[in-house]
């Protein structure tokens, strides 16, 4: 709601805040039910929710962190995509599923505290291809795209502190801005119906990884 207060009136009127803990399947189902009731269905889904906590994979007492990582970074994307595709199929809409991946979904960088984050992003890479094949087999025109950014200046970077990433202090490295990723998503959504951008990698110039 605070975000809506800072938007131009014509845009704010189209923003509907809705609380949804994506680690909870029940919350996801409620969110999609709200969209169905308010707008009739889903045409575009952007799976952007993610979490990261700097804890080693083999650290003691890390079970909750690992479970949360899988629930938010993997299962939530699968559940949301399932519900969106169901809505698109019901209405015969050639919609678009976008999964915000990472370069860590294609290569595992060396840095402390990565735990299941790279594994989760590799899962997103596999989910994207699995989904593409299922949609193709079903004869739909629904598109699916993985967007894999490099370092982006978000709250997740603040969690990292001053860890060494690619052998350098992460806070000193070139980074993308969230708007850069939004521009890439708009490009993908603007492609003709016969064009599917399956994978889009966006890196800042000079990134070492």
Question: Which residues participate in catalysis according to the annotation?
Answer: 117
Max Cα distance, the chain (Å):
50
Distances (CA, A) of 100 to 36, 181, 188: 23, 9, 12
Q: Can you give the length of the chain in residues?
A: 209
């Amino acid at each position: 709601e605070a975000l809506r207060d800072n938007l131009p009136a014509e845009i704010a009127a189209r923003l509907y805040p809705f609380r949804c803990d994506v680690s909870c399947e029940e919350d996801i189902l409620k969110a999609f039910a709200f969209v169905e009731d308010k707008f009739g269905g889903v045409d575009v889904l952007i799976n952007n929710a993610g979490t990261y906590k700097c804890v080693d994979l083999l650290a003691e007492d890390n079970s909750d962190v690992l479970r949360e990582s899988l629930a938010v970074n993997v299962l939530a994307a699968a559940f949301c995509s399932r519900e969106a595709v169901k809505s698109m199929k019901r209405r015969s809409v050639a919609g678009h599923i976008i999964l915000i991946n990472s370069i860590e979904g294609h290569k595992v960088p060396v840095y402390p505290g990565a735990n299941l984050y790279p594994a989760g992003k590799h899962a997103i890479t596999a989910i994207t291809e699995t989904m593409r094949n299922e949609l193709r087999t079903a004869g739909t025109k629904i598109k699916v795209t993985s967007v894999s950014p490099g370092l982006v200046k978000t709250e997740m970077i603040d969690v990292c502190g001053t860890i060494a990433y690619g052998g350098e202090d992460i806070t000193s490295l070139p980074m993308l801005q969230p708007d850069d990723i939004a521009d890439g998503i708009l490009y993908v959504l603007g492609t003709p119906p016969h064009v599917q951008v399956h994978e889009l990698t966006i890196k800042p110039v000079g990134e070492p990884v």
